[in-house]
């Protein structure tokens, strides 16, 4: 199907050549662009609002789909979507983790020494009888 333009009459349309296949391709392309725009807008709505849990879930899912670490993305999402109370809880958890890692060798040593003392006392008591 071909439409020709009348150069004397500026009100007529310019020349375009369209076939059913090209028209179908244009319609499909426009539909895909519209669907992508809607999905992008929905993702922007999800990531732009919501609480810490929603942010963590969305960021974790996005990272998983992109092949990145979903745990770290969830932590960053919870931080960005969290209130000051959530951020304080995250900081407290990190401080507790650091203290646990620093103190755990000391606690293990104290536990093993206490086992040695208990064993020595038990042996001393059994040899007295």
pLDDT digits (tens, 9 = 90+) for 83-96: 888 889 889 999 99
Tell me how far apart the alpha carbons of residues 55 and 81 are, in angstroms, rounded to a whole number. Answer: 6
Q: Going residue by residue through the chain (129 aa), what tens digit of pLDDT does each one get? A: 455 545 555 554 444 567 888 888 889 889 888 887 887 777 767 666 677 888 888 888 888 888 899 999 998 888 888 888 888 988 999 999 898 888 888 888 999 999 999 999 999 999 887
- Cα dihedral 62, 65, 67, 73, rounded to 10, equals 20
DSSP string, 18-46: --HHHHHHHHHHHHHHHHHHHHHHHHHHH
């Amino acid at each position: 199907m071909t439409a020709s333009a009348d150069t004397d009459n500026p009100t007529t349309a310019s020349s375009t050549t369209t076939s059913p296949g090209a028209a179908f391709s244009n319609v499909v392309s426009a539909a895909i662009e519209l669907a992508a725009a809607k999905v992008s807008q929905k993702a922007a709505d999800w990531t732009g609002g919501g609480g810490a849990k929603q942010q963590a879930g969305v960021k974790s899912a996005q990272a998983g789909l992109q092949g990145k670490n979903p745990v770290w993305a969830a932590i960053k999402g919870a931080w960005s979507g969290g209130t000051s109370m959530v951020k304080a809880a995250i900081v407290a958890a990190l401080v507790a983790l650091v203290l646990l890692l620093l103190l755990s060798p000391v606690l293990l040593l104290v536990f093993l020494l206490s086992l040695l003392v208990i064993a020595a006392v038990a042996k001393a008591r059994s040899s007295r009888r």
